[in-house]
Amino acid sequence: MKPKLLVVAPTTDAMTSRLGKAFEMIPLSATDGEDALLAAHGDRIVAVLTDGHLGLAPNLMAQLPNLAVIAANGVGYDAIDVGAAADQGVVVTHTPDVLNDEVANCAILLWMATARRLVPNDAYVRAGRWPIEGNTGLTDPIQNRTVGIVGYGRIGQTIARRAAAFDAEILYHARSAKDAPGEFCPDLVEMAARSDVLIVITPGGPATRHLINVDVLAALGPQGILVNIARGSVVDEAALIAALTDGTLGGAGLDVFENEPQVPAALIAMDNVVLTPHIGSATTATRAAMGALVCDNLLSYLEHGTVLTPVPEHSDLKPRPIGESV
Ligand code: 8YV
C-alpha cells in the first residue's frame, strides 16, 4: 500500500504524475470534512503538500500521528506553524532560489510600471484620447534612483542587482548587515526618507506585520513609490490607502494584499497604483521549477528519509521514518 499524501494546494499534471506513482494522493477539497478525512486516512498520512497561504490548520496537523513532512509550494511559509511542526517531529520544506529571478523581475516591473504610469498611459491610448487630447504628462524617472530594499535575502539581493543596471543607489534594511553590495540601514524610517522607491521583500508573519506603517510611508513621501512583492501583511493597508489618497505617498505597485484575493475598492479606484494578483513567481518555467522541487522533497523523503530544502528553522531536523503502521 502506498503512503498517503494530503494535498491541500493545487498541483500541476507534472506534479500529480510524479507524486501519484509513489503516494496515494488525498485532495483535501475532495474529502467530506475533517472528521471523515481523519477517520478514512488520518494515521496513514505521512506528508502534506500545501503552500504558504493555505498552510495547514494546526488542529489538523496535530491529528496526523504519522505526519513527517509538510512540503510548501512557495518560498514563503507564513501560514504554517513551523514551531508546532517541529514539536511534532514534522519537517517543513519550501522552494527557495528557483523563484528568485522572476519574483525580482516582477518587483522591477511594478516599480517601472508605477513610475512611468504604464497602466494609465495604456488606457489613454486605448480610449482614443491621444489624437484628441495630445500627449500625457511627464513621469518619474527610472534612472539614477535611490532604491531601498526591505528584506535582503536571496530575492532582495537579486532585486538590487537588477536595480544596479539602472544606476540605482542601493540601500537595504534587514535584521543585520549582509556581505553584499548596498548600504545597510538599521533604521527603516531613515531609509525610507532617503529612498525614491521602497521595495518590500521580507518574509510575512507576526514579526513583520505592518512593518511598513504610517511613519515609513510618510518618510517615503509624495514623490516616493512603494512596491510590495512580499506579503500583504507587511504593509498597513489602511495607512497605505490614506497616504495615497492625501498625497503623502506618490504611488504604489502592489502584488500582494492583506485580504487576498480581496483588494480594497479604494486602491482599485486609484490611477497612481499598479495592482497584480500575487503573480510574483507565476511564470511557466518558475512554477514548473517550484513544483519539481516540491516533488523532489517529498520523493526524497520516501526514498532516502531526508528532504532537500527544509525551511531555515528546520535545517537541523530530520523527518521521522515512515511509521510501521503506514
Ligand atoms: C506563490 C509565493 O503565491 O513563494 C511564495 O511565497 O507567495 C508565491 O510563489 C505561491 O506560494 C504558489 O503556490
129-154 pLDDT, tens digit each:
999 999 999 999 999 999 999 999 99
- The reported pLDDT for the residue numbered 279 is 98
- Ligand 1 neighbourhood includes 229 CB (under 6 angstroms): no
Q: Cα–Cα distance between 323 and 257 in angstroms, integer?
A: 40
- The reported pLDDT for the residue numbered 31 is 83
45 pLDDT more than 50: yes
324 pLDDT more than 50: no
| Phi, psi for 132 (deg, rounded to 5) | -90, -45
User: Whose C-alpha lies nearest to ligand 1, atom 10?
Assistant: 74
68 and 310 Cβ atoms separated by less than 8 Å: no
- The reported pLDDT for the residue numbered 326 is 52
Rounded-to-10 torsion of CA 50, 53, 57, 60: -10
Atom of ligand 1 nearest to the CA of 52: 11
User: Whose C-alpha lies nearest to ligand 1, atom 4?
Assistant: 74
- The reported pLDDT for the residue numbered 323 is 66
**Residue type for 216, please?**
V
142 and 166 Cβ atoms separated by less than 8 Å: yes
260 and 53 Cβ atoms separated by less than 8 Å: yes
User: Whose C-alpha lies nearest to ligand 1, atom 6?
Assistant: 76
Atom of ligand 1 nearest to the CA of 10: 13
**Ligand 1 center from residue 171 Cα (angstroms):** 25
210 and 235 Cβ atoms separated by less than 8 Å: yes
Q: Which of 11, 15, 49, 51 to mutate to test the pocket of ligand 1 (most atoms within 8 A of CB)?
A: 51
243 and 237 Cβ atoms separated by less than 8 Å: no
**Residue type for 52, please?**
G
- The reported pLDDT for the residue numbered 118 is 98
- The reported pLDDT for the residue numbered 107 is 98
**Ligand 1 center from residue 202 Cα (angstroms):** 13
- Nearest CA among 210, 213, 199 for reference residue 146: 199
Weakest mean pLDDT among 9-23, 24-38, 102-116: 24-38
Q: Using the 8-state DSSP alphabet, how is residue 42 labeled?
A: G
Q: Which of 281, 284, 287, 309 to mutate to test the pocket of ligand 1 (most atoms within 8 A of CB)?
A: 281
| Residue 183 known to be catalytic | no
Query: Considering 44, 94, 162, 231, which one is annotated as catalytic?
Result: 231
SS in 3 state form for 2-24? CCEEEECCCCCHHHHHHHHHHCE
Region label for 187, one of left (φ > 0), alpha (ψ between -120 and 50) or beta (otherwise): beta
Q: Cα–Cα distance between 293 and 191 in angstroms, integer?
A: 36
For residue 132 the three cell numbers come to: 484628441
| Phi, psi for 293 (deg, rounded to 5) | -70, -35
| Residue 231 known to be catalytic | yes
- Nearest CA among 308, 2, 307 for reference residue 320: 307
User: Whose C-alpha lies nearest to ligand 1, atom 12?
Assistant: 74
- Nearest CA among 280, 311, 307, 310 for reference residue 296: 307
2 pLDDT more than 80: yes
Estimate the share of the chain in helix, then strand, then coil, as percent rounded to the nearest 5. 40, 15, 45
- Nearest CA among 242, 244, 240 for reference residue 228: 240
Express as a percent the part of the chain with pLDDT over 90.
93
**pLDDT tens digits, residue range 86-124?**
999 999 999 999 999 999 999 999 999 999 999 999 999
**Ligand 1 center from residue 103 Cα (angstroms):** 10
**Ligand 1 center from residue 187 Cα (angstroms):** 28
Q: What is the mean pLDDT of residues 36-50?
A: 91
- The reported pLDDT for the residue numbered 41 is 85
**Coil, strand or helix: which one is 30?**
helix
Q: Using the 8-state DSSP alphabet, how is residue 165 labeled?
A: T
Q: What is the pTM of this model?
A: 0.95
pLDDT-derived band of residue 214, with 50, 70 and 90 as boundaries? very high
**Ligand 1 center from residue 137 Cα (angstroms):** 36
| Residue 169 known to be catalytic | no
